[in-house]
Amino acid sequence: MSTIIAPSILAADFANLQRDIEIINNSEADWLHVDIMDGMFVPNISFGMPVMDAIHRHSKKPLDVHLMIEKPERYLRAFKDLGAFQITVHEEACPHLHRTIQQIKELGCKAGVALNPHTSLNTLEYLIADLDLVCLMSVNPGFGGQKFIQTTYEKVSRLKELIVTRGSNCLIEVDGGVNFETGLKLVDRGANALVAGSYIFNSANPAQTISDLKKKLAEL
């Protein structure tokens, strides 16, 4: 299986959102990553429902929706209806995480759990077999362009061991500070999907940046 590249629309030019979505449409990217922030779970606000609707109408890539919000179960149906093929919720925001995962699956979406950098993998030990994806935050969530947290490499390796031990088929996604250098190391440790924002959208040629990264990862 080739490594999944999911550009984060949070790093796009919001004044030219359709243009940047079209760039991703015409690239080798696999998914479009959409961060939803509520200003409460994280200290920032990103997209509301109208913008999500616009992204859905213009994107030709599957929408990988990452809910960085409190009580995400309130909005699962809404994001499904707005085009999400996969919905990821934070372990830290869900007191009844198993129930929330089941609700996502009942909607017909892939279900993921995100972990903040400080959160232990032990929280997933008895849930990992029910997940389609685990998203490891390699920066503190809320803002793009942050420096990559080096301990993420070890966390990816340990998560891979847990997945194998529990007989799970879930993917490992890493979100934050991903670039050419960190991306290669993460995939070497067991990551299957990379979320990249600033690295892609701040480059001179985003589509070429994605292509170059895909090509190099395929050589591993």
Task: Tell me the catalytic residues.
Answer: 35, 175
3-state secondary structure of 94: coil
The rounded distance, in Å, linking the Cα atoms of 166 and 90 is 21
Alpha helices in 26-141 (DSSP H): 49-58, 76-81, 97-106
What does the CA dihedral 194, 196, 199, 205 come to, rounded to 10 degrees?
Answer: 90
Between CA 79 and CA 83 the distance in angstroms is 6
Q: What tokens does 161 get? A: 């061991």
> How far apart, in whole angstroms, are the C-alpha atoms of residue 130 and residue 126?
9
Measured in degrees and rounded to the nearest 5, phi and psi for residue 35 equal -90, 120
Tokens of 53: 């609707």
63, 30 Cβ separation under 8 angstroms = no
Under a CB-based contact definition with an 8 Å cutoff, are residues 12 and 34 in contact? no
